[in-house]
Structure formats: structure tokens, C-alpha cells
Amino acid sequence: MSTINPFLTRRAFIRTAAGAGAVAALGGLPRLSLAGNPTGTKLHGLSSFGELKYGPDYGHFSFARPEAPQGGRFAFQPSYWYFNQNTQTFNTLNSFTLKGEAPPRMEYCFDSLMTWAWDEPDALYCALAESVEISSDRNTYRFVLRPGATFSDGSPVTAEDVAFSHMLMKAEGHPQIAIDLTELAEAVATDERTVELRFTGRQTGRAILSIANSVPVFSKDFYARLPFADHVMELPVGSGAWKVGKFEPGLYIIYERRDDYWANDLPFARGLDHFAEIRIDFFQERQAALEAFKKGDIRYREEFTSKSWATAYDFPAANEGKVVKVEIPDEKRPSLQGWAVNSRKPKFADPRTRQAIGMVFDFEWANKNLFYDAYTRANSTFEKSDFVAEGLPSDGELKLLEPYRAELPEAVFGEAVMQFVSDGSGRDRKALREARSLLRQAGWKYANGGYFSESGEKLEIEFLIRAQIFTRILGPFVENLKALGVAATIRQVDPSQFQSKLEAFDFDVAGVAFSMDATPSSETLQQFFHSMSANIEGAHNYPGIAVPAIDAIIDNIRDIETRDELVTAMKALDRVLRAYHFWIPNWYSANHRIAMWDMFGRAEEKPDYFFPVERLWWYDKEKAAAIGAG
């Protein structure tokens, strides 16, 4: 599968501006979803519903460990079989445009105005900014920068740099951020340390939460001499805790902890980033990466393959206890791993066709024979969250759904749609019968061993993959489709081609995995499910979802002022999405499966909503000495 490019730490990573028409009724005022955050007052943090865990005098986040030792190297491999980027190599150090392939973790080199607390679902705290003030009309956010903030070249971070960065990202930045900035009218430095982000009034109330911690602050002087969008390998000038050290495209990149990082002793940064170096090594093949781990060249490995987790860790270092395996609970964020069916193509336009395709995937057989019973079948678009629709719609859900009853599938108003449960035989005859019936209902005619539309188009399906390992999973699925009478094939391309095709929506069916914020904004949801993003290349609306009722539910989330209202609306959205079968949900695991050389210190508890190991753990000299590791 692929997952969302980990461009910045908290985002679902692609969002769009809300429709102007939805706001017009408010006379140009933004929705008051941040109403719990007062206006006209200097604040140290913001949250969707005005509730903050940490007060203005907090010393550090509770998941941070200021007492942990500094130093050592954290060496790992990118999970490029699961990431929506070409992480086998890179040809630019600019992560912030759609052009080129950048290495993972470049975002660590840049600070932003605010930062996310990883143990809260929807809270931001001041980072580069020491305070934020909301205007009375909630259209302007005034940030005062902290004194002493510097870039890696020693120059000060000024309000002019902040204003420049926001407008640059709006004009030339990656769509995953640029679209968020659509309703930013201007960013203005009013003095050396004060910058105002002024919005049009058409933004949603939560728009600032998508922007304040996701727009990197650049050095204006640096980009005055270097075109922003070019594929460049010049070392970037950033204000973050890390800087780029040595690197060789296709082999490795090293990030070095800045000894002169300006925020070392400030609450938002204290107790994080303990390693002296983060090294990321790139491999063309999975086995080569595993062999490097066995030798200790790689010291940490998250295992995404159940077969490997069960069978691949029988080697001397593991048997001697130098390498240990642990399972750590996953984050509490709405997640989906599934196959996106491209409904832009006429052959997949009918939901019954999409349902028929998904029905013949025998998860029960795969889980037993391929996955060592390691997974749970996914049904929801928002697994591992409070947003999973269950049973019949609640009164609150019905209130949102009833206005669209005439245009929605009847299944929306019944029990929440669940994936077909097979007999585990590998080829369930009942599944094949029901799938054939669905295809006939969708207008497909069976003739000459295949299905044809009224216009004579043959029903053919090409599964796009980026690594050979997925043929093991898809092979039985494809054979079942062939038994159904559907011409199904698997096409493997290299990761760069896969990414390009995914962003251009040039595929029939492709595997994707993503997770969202614990409190998704309407901007986030628009990027995945709203008609506005259905044809924006680089957006994450992979199936091409364009359903007015779905648009309306997402637009309704703009108004929400309590978490209970959000849960109700999200369940209604989940119910509709599942009834349309845009996705064929796969499976999920409740835990991270981690293998590591036993040389790291870590806190017993982890934050609930984000888990960047390389920023939370530390090098333990005594443990390393005990296993003879340097």
C-alpha cells in the first residue's frame, strides 16, 4: 500500500479551501468553530473547541523527557513500501513543491508559528510565535515572534520572513499546503516581530489550525537568490532543530541536531530531539534492507509485513537478545488502508460495480494463509476512531441525512455497510453469485467469457502496485475476479511512476493508506472526499468522490462547535462513504510492530496521536555497551 506523504507531523496532508457559497449566508464572517478561543487577547495556544491541556506556564509537554541524555545516532530505513513518495532516492532537498522527490523528514529543518501537542486531538501551542491574538471579526490572526529565533546560518527570523513564507507557499507551494492558504488574503509584517495573517472571511473557523503549524518559515534572503520551485540540492536554511548533513541520493541522508538551536530550552521543544544524528538509508529491495538491519547498519525497523514479523527475525543477534521485538499501541487517529477504485472512469461509475469488485476479495482466507491472523478487517473509512458508524443511524445522524434521502442509496439508512465475510475457502461461491448479480444490476452483460457494457466496453481492471510483494496479496484477489469473469491484471511500476500516476489519477485501482487528525477539519475532509478536490491533481481524493450529499455533510462540519457534534457528523459521513463503495477497505493492526537493536531509551507511555520515534527516544550508552554496539 501507500500512505500519505509525511510532509508535516500532524496533518492529513492535503486540504482545500471551503466553498465560498457555503459561507455567503453568514455575511462574510467565518464559522465560529474556534469560538472557545477568545478574541482580543494574547493566547499561548489554540484548539478547535477552546480547551487546552497545557497552561501558559507549562514547562514541557508531558510526553517529552528533558532528563534524557543527548547524543548517538538513530539509523533507520524509510517505509517506502507504505509511503506515498519515492523514498528509494531523492533529487531535491525541497519538500515543499510538487516537483521532484525529496527525502523524508526534511520538515524537521523548519519551525512554524505553532506546533502540535501530540497528546491532544486538536491543540496547537506557540512555537516561533510567543503569542497569537484573534481579531474581533476572527479574520485576522496577529502573531508576535519570540525574540532570539534564528536560522541555521545565524540570521534572525523576522516577521518579514514569516509573511514571505506564507505568501510563497500560497503562490508556489505544494498543493497539500497551498490549497489551505486559498482564503489567506495577505500576510503582513507590521513590525520586526509582528506578523498578521489576514483572511478573506470565507475561511472556516478551523482554517488557522491547518496553517499555523504546517507552513514552514523560510529565510527570505535565501530564496531571493534561488528559485523556489527548482529541483535544488543546495542545503536549505531553516530555523528548526535539525539541519542536513552528509547525503548521497539513492543511498542515505543524515540530519544533524543543531547545537545552536534557538529553542532548546523553550517549553514546546524541551525534552525532544535527543539524538545527535538521524540517518536514513535507502534500499531498492526489502531483503537488502532486512540484511542491513541484521548487521546493525540499520538499528530500528517497523515491520509492516505480517509474514516477516512472524518468520524473518530468527537470526543470531535476535536469538542472543541484542535485537528485540516489541508491539506498541497505534495512534488514536481515524485511518484507512484500502484500494481506491477510480470512479472517474465510466466503467467504475456505478457503486454496484465497485461493490462487486470488493466482494470477491477473500480477507478471511488471506488473513489465515498470508497474514498469520495478524489483522482485523477494516470496514470504516475512519477505523481506530470514534467516528466509525455502527448499527442504525442515530437521531443526530438522521437529521443530517434525511434532506438527501431521495438521492442517497437506501443502504445509508439501514445498518452501517459492512464488508462481505467469506467462508475462508479462498473462493466463496456465495460471494461470486452476489457479485455477478451486482454486475448485472449495474448494466454489465456477460458474453464470451467476460462482461461488457451497453457500448461494448469490456470490464477490465488493472491493479497498480509499486513493489513485488503486493502480488502475493493481490494474486488470489485477481484470480477470484477472473473466476467472476472480470479481466483483471496487476501492473508493477517503480515508486516514482506510482506516485506520478496516483497524483494524476491515472489508474484503475490502487492501494493507499492514510490517517487523519484526531479532530478532522472540513478542509481535511474536503481534500479526501469533497467534489472540489475530485479533479485537483496531487489531492487525495483518489476515487474521484463527487456526491452532493457528501459535500453538504462536510460543509456542515464547518459549523460544529462541540466534539459530540463532530462525532455525529463524522459517523453520518462514514455511513454514506461506505454505502457508495468508493474504497475497498483492507485491514488494520492495533499495534506498531517494531524490531530494534536494544540500545534505546524510551518512556513507557507514548502520546496518543503521533509517534515520531526519532524525536521521542534516545541513545542509551549502557544498553549499547551491553550488546557491544557503538
Same domain, 211 and 355: no
Q: What is the pTM of this model?
A: 0.83
Per-residue pLDDT, 21: 29
Per-residue pLDDT, 6: 31
Which residues, listed in sequence order, are joined to residue 279 by a DSSP beta bridge? 75, 254
In a domain, 354, yes or no: yes
* Axis crossing angle, helix 522-529 with helix 548-556, rounded to the nearest 10: 170
State mean pLDDT over 136-158: 97
Report CA 483 to chain centroid distance, whole Å.
35
The pLDDT tens digits for 470-494 are 999 999 999 999 999 999 999 999 8
Contact 328, 592 (CB under 8 A): yes
Residue 535 neighbours by CB distance under 10 Å: 12
Phi, psi of 511 (to 5 degrees): -85, 135
| Cα separation, 32 vs 15, whole angstroms | 19
Per the structure, the count of domains in the chain is 2
In a domain, 249, yes or no: no
| Cα separation, 97 vs 92, whole angstroms | 10
| Cα separation, 389 vs 386, whole angstroms | 9
Per-residue pLDDT, 24: 28
**How wide is the angle at C-alpha 294 spanned by C-alphas 293 and 297, nearest 5°?**
45
Closest-CA residue to 602 (of 54, 53, 69): 69
Phi, psi of 350 (to 5 degrees): -85, 125
State mean pLDDT over 430-441: 98
Closest-CA residue to 338 (of 379, 388, 384): 379
State mean pLDDT over 200-218: 89
Amino acid letter for position 114: M
In a domain, 247, yes or no: no
Same domain, 342 and 201: no
Closest-CA residue to 581 (of 442, 430, 473): 442
The pLDDT tens digits for 289-309 are 999 999 999 999 999 889 999
Domain final position from 171, 200, 224: 224
Contact 325, 593 (CB under 8 A): yes
In a domain, 596, yes or no: no
Which residues, listed in sequence order, are joined to residue 306 by a DSSP beta bridge? none
Closest-CA residue to 583 (of 315, 294, 448, 383): 383
Q: In this structure, what CATH number is given to the domain that contains residue 117?
A: 3.40.190.10
Contact 517, 524 (CB under 8 A): yes
Domain final position from 193, 208, 224: 224
The residue segments making up the domain with residue 97 are: 20-68+85-224
Q: Given a cut of 60, is residue 399 above it in pLDDT? A: yes
Contact 464, 509 (CB under 8 A): yes
Contact 128, 159 (CB under 8 A): no
Please report which confidence band the pLDDT of residue 33 belongs to, taking 50, 70 and 90 as the band edges: low
Q: Given a cut of 90, is residue 218 above it in pLDDT? A: yes
Report CA 133 to chain centroid distance, whole Å.
29
| Cα separation, 249 vs 231, whole angstroms | 13
The cell 499555523 sits on which residue?
212
Averaged confidence pLDDT in the chain: 90
3-state helix, strand, coil in the chain (%, to 5): 30, 20, 50
Closest-CA residue to 65 (of 224, 228, 288, 275): 275
Contact 617, 274 (CB under 8 A): yes
Contact 597, 629 (CB under 8 A): yes
Of 86-100, 160-174, 417-431, 601-615, the least confident: 86-100
Q: Please state, for a pLDDT cut of 70, what percent of the chain lies above it.
A: 93
The dihedral built from the CA positions of residue 186, 190, 195 and 196, taken in this order, carries a sign that is negative
Whole-angstrom Cα Rg for the chain: 25
State mean pLDDT over 171-179: 85
Q: 230 or 173: which carries more pLDDT confidence?
A: 173
Please report which confidence band the pLDDT of residue 79 belongs to, taking 50, 70 and 90 as the band edges: low
Alpha-carbon distance values, 335 to 12, 76, 567, 609 (Å): 10, 24, 15, 12
Per-residue pLDDT, 629: 87
State mean pLDDT over 561-568: 90
Same domain, 438 and 571: yes
Domain final position from 224, 248, 272: 224
The pLDDT tens digits for 458-471 are 999 999 999 888 99
**How wide is the angle at C-alpha 12 spanned by C-alphas 9 and 17, nearest 5°?**
120
The dihedral built from the CA positions of residue 101, 103, 108 and 109, taken in this order, carries a sign that is negative
* Axis crossing angle, helix 429-441 with helix 470-484, rounded to the nearest 10: 70
Contact 88, 293 (CB under 8 A): no
Q: Given a cut of 60, is residue 29 above it in pLDDT? A: no
Contact 380, 392 (CB under 8 A): no
State mean pLDDT over 236-264: 96
Q: Which helix (H) or strand (E) holds 616?
A: helix 613-616
Please report which confidence band the pLDDT of residue 84 belongs to, taking 50, 70 and 90 as the band edges: very low
Strand order in the sheet with 140-145: 129-134, 140-145, 194-199, 184-191
Per-residue pLDDT, 142: 98
Q: Given a cut of 50, is residue 557 above it in pLDDT? A: yes
Which residues, listed in sequence order, are joined to residue 329 by a DSSP beta bridge? 591
Q: Given a cut of 70, is residue 42 above it in pLDDT? A: yes
Same domain, 347 and 496: yes
Per-residue pLDDT, 426: 96
- Strand, helix or coil at 68? coil
State mean pLDDT over 424-433: 97
In a domain, 11, yes or no: no
Per-residue pLDDT, 441: 98
DSSP calls for 371-410: STT--EE--STTBTSTT---SSPPHHHHHHHGGGGGGS-G
Beta-sheet pairing, 487-492 with 583-585: unpaired
Closest-CA residue to 480 (of 542, 420, 390, 404): 420
Same domain, 198 and 345: no
Q: In this structure, what CATH number is given to the domain that contains residue 417?
A: 3.10.105.10
Q: Given a cut of 80, is residue 125 above it in pLDDT? A: yes
| Cα separation, 578 vs 115, whole angstroms | 33
Per-residue pLDDT, 210: 84
| Cα separation, 607 vs 159, whole angstroms | 32
For the CA atoms of 520, 522, 525, 529, what is the dihedral angle to 10 degrees?
160
Q: 200 or 231: which carries more pLDDT confidence?
A: 200
The pLDDT tens digits for 495-506 are 889 989 999 999
In a domain, 137, yes or no: yes
Q: Given a cut of 90, is residue 48 above it in pLDDT? A: no
The pLDDT tens digits for 578-624 are 999 999 999 999 999 999 999 999 998 999 999 999 999 999 999 99
Please report which confidence band the pLDDT of residue 154 belongs to, taking 50, 70 and 90 as the band edges: very high
State mean pLDDT over 79-103: 70
In a domain, 182, yes or no: yes
Q: Given a cut of 90, is residue 175 above it in pLDDT? A: no
Per-residue pLDDT, 81: 37
Q: Given a cut of 90, is residue 155 above it in pLDDT? A: yes
In a domain, 290, yes or no: no
Query: What does the block give as the cell for 351?
Result: 457503486
Which residues, 6+ apart, have CB-to-CB distance to 458 below 8 Å?
Answer: 450, 451, 452, 487
State mean pLDDT over 329-351: 96
Residue 626 neighbours by CB distance under 10 Å: 13
